[in-house]
Structure 1
Amino acid sequence: MTTACVTPGTLYVVATPIGHLGDLSPRAQAVLAAVDRICAEDTRTSGHLLAHYGIRRPMTALHEHNEATLVDGLVAALRDGAALALISDAGTPLISDPGFALVRAARTAGVPVIAVPGPCAAIAALSISGLPTDRFVFEGFLPAKPAARRRRLQTLATEPRTLILYESSHRILDTAEDLAAVLGSRSVCLARELTKLHEQSVVLPATALPAWLREDTHRCRGEFVLLIAGAPAPEADHGAEAERVLRILLRELPVSSAVRIAADITGARKKELYERALQLAPPGERDAHA
C-alpha cells in the first residue's frame, strides 16, 4: 500500500529523533505512515516512536547481525514495487548505525534511494560546540580496547579538521583519560544526552576533562558526542621562505636590492638576509652587487 507522499519501488532513508520526540519532521511522519514496510534497527525501540505518532506499519528488524542475510530479499521487494523506509534507533541511519549494506545494494540494483533528513547527533553537537565547523571529520566510535584506542588517537592527533567522535557511558571516562594523555591542552567539547531532559555540553582542555567527569557521577551517564579541535597548523618556516625569495631575486638584482625586497616580502631581518645573500651570490658578484 502506497500513497501520494511515497513512490513505489523506492527506499526512503528516514532520520528519527535522537531524544526529543517532537523532532520527527512532518514529512518523516508522512513517509513512515505511507510506506509498505519499515526496516528498523530495533523494532521495539522504534515501535515506541511510531506508536507515539499513531503510525502502524509492518516492520522488519535490520541490524548488524542480520543485514547481510536480509538485503537481497529487501532489494527484491523494492524491485517488485514496494516502498520501504529505513530507520535506526535514533538519528540518521548509517551514521554509526546499520543500513549501509541495504543502501549500497539498492543503488547497485538501480533502486531509487531518497533521504528524509532530520536529526543527527554529530551535526547537532558540532553546531553548539564553538569549534570550527567549516571543515570536520566524523570518526564514529573509537576502538574499545585501551591500547588500540590510544593508537588510533595518536594517529588522529595530527588531523587539522575538527574531529567528531561518539562514545558510550561505559567507556567515556577511559576515553577522556586517553584524550588527556594524547592531546594535552587541546580543546574538547563534550555533549551528552542531546535534546533530552538532562542535556549538557561543556568545552574544556582535554587535560581537564577526566576531572570534570569525576566531579559528578551523573556526567558519565547517557550518550556522548566528543568534538576535538583540529591540530594547529605547523609554524611556517620563514627562514626557508625568505631564502627561496632571496635566491630568486639574486638572479636579477644586486645583493643590496635583493635583500631589501626580500625583507619587505617575507618580514625577515635584513642583516640575516644580507649575510645569507653574500653566501649565495657568486664570488665575483658579491663586491659588485654590495
Structure 2
Amino acid sequence: MKFDAIVVGGSFAGLSAAMQLVRARKHVLMVDAGRLRNRFAATAHGFLGQDNRPPADIRADALAQLGRYPTFTLWQDEALTAERRIGGFHLELAEHGSAESTVLVLALGVEDTLPAIPGLAERWGRSVLHCPYCHGFEIGGGPIGILASSPLAAHQGGLLPDWGKTTMFVEPGVTFDDELSAMLSARGVSMETERVVELLGEGHGLHGVRLADGRTVEVHALFAQSKVAIASPLASQLGLELEEGPQGFHIKADMGRTSLPGVFAAGDAASPMHNATLASAAGVMAGTSAHRALIEATLWG
C-alpha cells in the first residue's frame, strides 16, 4: 500500500505533524523506533497543558488520539533507508519490509554525546540537564552548576541565576570574551577553572562535584552542553541540506520544507533550539506544509 505521507519519528514533532495530516483525511504511516531523546526525563515541564507529566504518558495520550482517526497507521519499526522515486518515496524498514508515500516527514530526533566525566551520563535528564526552562524551577532555588565545555555555556550562565546561586566550571580551552565575562559577572556567576572530575550523589541525585584538586563544590543540578547528531541516516541518504548550529548539524527547514521537494522535517533534528513545545509547533508546520504539497501533487501531477 502507498500512503499519502510517512512520518518517521514518534515523539512530539512527529505526533504533531501526523495529527495535521490525518485531520486532513490523509493516509499516514508513522514509523517509530522507540528511542526517544526524552526517555531519560521523568517529567516534562513548560509544555502548556502537559506540565509535570511523564513524556511517555504524553506520547501515549497523543497516540491514542491519533488512533481514533481511521487513516492513521503506526508501525513500531526502524526506517533503514529512504530514496526518492517517481511519484514519491520508498523506505526500507527493519521489520515491515518496505513502504511508499507521496510525501515524507522526518522527525528523526538527535542523539547526545556527553562530556566524559564519571557520574554524568547516568544522571542525564535527571540532575544533569540542558534546558533551564524545562527543569530550572524543579531545582528549588538550590545551588546550580554549569559545565562550560563550550562558549555556549555563557547563554545558560546569563539565565540560571534566576533559578539559584550559579557556579560555572570552565573546561580547559574554553574562554569568554570581555563582553560575555562582564555579563556573567554582573549576573553574579562564580567562575571555577579547576576541572570537574566526578559527580557526587545517591542514585540519580546530585549533591556536589569533585574537582581535580580534591575540593568538592555543592550543586543540586549541573547544566551541560551535549554535542548532538541526527539520530538517523535518512537525511544524508536523501542529500538534504544541513546547517551547523552551536551543538552540531541539523536539517535546514523553512516551515518544515527541506531542500528536497516532498520532504519535510521538524523537531530537534531540524532546529538548533531543542524544546518540547518548539518541537510540537514545528511538527504542526511540517504537517501543514506536507498537506499543501499533497494538494499541489493532485493539481499539477
Give the TM-score normalised by structure 2.
0.26
Larger RCO (CA within 8 A; separation ≥ 6): 2
Structure with the higher helix share, 1 or 2: 1
Structure with the higher strand share, 1 or 2: 2
Instruction: Report the structure number with the largest CA radius of gyration.
Output: 1
Give the TM-score normalised by structure 1.
0.27
